[in-house]
Amino acid sequence: MSLSNLPLSYCTNVHPGRTLAEIEQGLDRYTVKMAAGYGAPLAAGLWLAAPVVKELLAVDPKCSRFAEGLARRGLTCHTLNAFPYGDFHSPRVKEQVYKPSWAERQRLEFTVSAARVLARLLPPNVEGSISTSPLGFPGIDSYPEFFGHCEENLIAAAVLLQSIEEETGRTIRLAVEPEPCCWLDETPSAIDFFTNRLWPKAAERDCLAAVKKHVGLCLDVCHQAVAFEDMRQTVSAIDAAGIRINKIHITCAIELEHPAANAEGRRALAHYVEPRYLHQTKAYHSDGTILTALDLDRALADTRPEFSEAERWRVHFHVPVDAERLGPLKTTRADLREALKAVNGLSYAPHLEVETYTWEVLPNRPAVDLVEGLTREMTATRSLLAEIGQVG
């Protein structure tokens, strides 16, 4: 078995965190209360936006005091989310979440600074991981030199992470996170980028070993389920390519079966249309054809009849991982179970993190207590891991 025996993480990007004070308020208001209800060791998978990272590194004692504060609260941290660079809770995030791309120096500097923070937060003898963006978004970043710049910056990141390891003794691995409609979207595009672009460039720079050690993937199960990937095949293909899965996002997407005949399901899905986050939608036809819409909107089926004729839709909307159904809608929890089973067969243990950041925009949000909902998710995840063979 190779599921992680570290305390289970949940990603704190569900809480606003534009300043260090706001981060600590979220820990006290939500995380500590969750830990009490969860009844087991809990890790905070911290989302630290660029201004927070800068604040932590600006004055030397700040990072040490923050680490002491985590310990005082009974929390540990072994993974960060450095995908959203800025405000992840503004009224409209959508495609802005992919900025800056990995072609820009800002992304490199932010990520390495986050690694320097994590090196000071890690428990003894524990490796760290940092999830990051899928290079960029085609609608924003489309120019001939884009991939070359991404390669150069990821190689630079690996070299700097190696330097951090030599300085501190802390190994920190980057986890690039494919997402629908991005430059790295489905698993084959990620494998192709690593094996045919990033690794050959790193070999030319004589730093392939550092890149392979420090740069891998984050498998967000919601994202790959939206693409209708077979989770066992996905994990097997990544492993066969020699790419390390450094982090698993334990997540579920929405599924609508037989949209043409399922008026109730379509009405329910309409309530998930909201202005903050991007909800890429894919439609699967019985002949294997998959159609893509960049975002969920109320007119989707009416304006694109080929969508309503599909066998089923899947929507990039992270929903609570304890839910098999949401009224007339299904979730991809069965895919999550298969993904974790497949990961359990690896020769190493990726970090495990529950990431449902959409609680504020769920249709039933006013009726759901956030601490209660997150605690329920964590407890259900622990039970699921126990089913697969990991007690913790």
Look up the CATH number of the domain holding residue 142: 3.20.20.150
Assigned token pair, 367:
């009726």
Give the pLDDT score at 391.
39
The pTM for the full model equals 0.96
Say if 156 falls within a structural domain: yes
Distance of CA 70 to the CA centre of its chain: 22
- Rounded CA separation 214/157 (Å): 8
Residue 133: give the domain boundaries.
Answer: 8-251+332-388
Confidence of residue 392 (pLDDT cuts 50, 70, 90): very low
Number of domains within the chain: 1
Average pLDDT over residues 132-143: 96
Q: CA 121, 126, 130: angle at the middle one, nearest 5? A: 65
- Rounded CA separation 128/168 (Å): 12
Assigned token pair, 189:
């595009």
Say if 26 falls within a structural domain: yes
Say if 306 falls within a structural domain: no
Per-residue pLDDT reduced to its tens digit, 49-105: 999 999 999 988 899 999 999 999 999 999 999 999 999 999 999 999 999 999 999
Question: Computed from CA positions of residues 220, 343, 333, 251, in that sequence, does the dihedral angle turn out positive or negative?
Answer: negative
The SS3 of residue 314 is strand
Say if 355 falls within a structural domain: yes
Distances from the Cα of 166 to the Cαs of 171, 172, 203, 226, in angstroms? 9, 11, 21, 39
Q: Which amino acid is at 203?
A: A
Say if 295 falls within a structural domain: no
Per-residue pLDDT reduced to its tens digit, 352-370: 999 999 999 999 776 779 9
Q: Where are the alpha helices (DSSP H) in the chain?
A: 20-26, 32-38, 50-58, 60-72, 105-121, 146-168, 187-193, 199-204, 208-214, 221-226, 231-240, 263-270, 300-303, 305-308, 333-343, 370-388
Say if 82 falls within a structural domain: yes
Say if 317 falls within a structural domain: no
Say if 88 falls within a structural domain: yes
Strand 351-354, strand 8-11: pairing: parallel
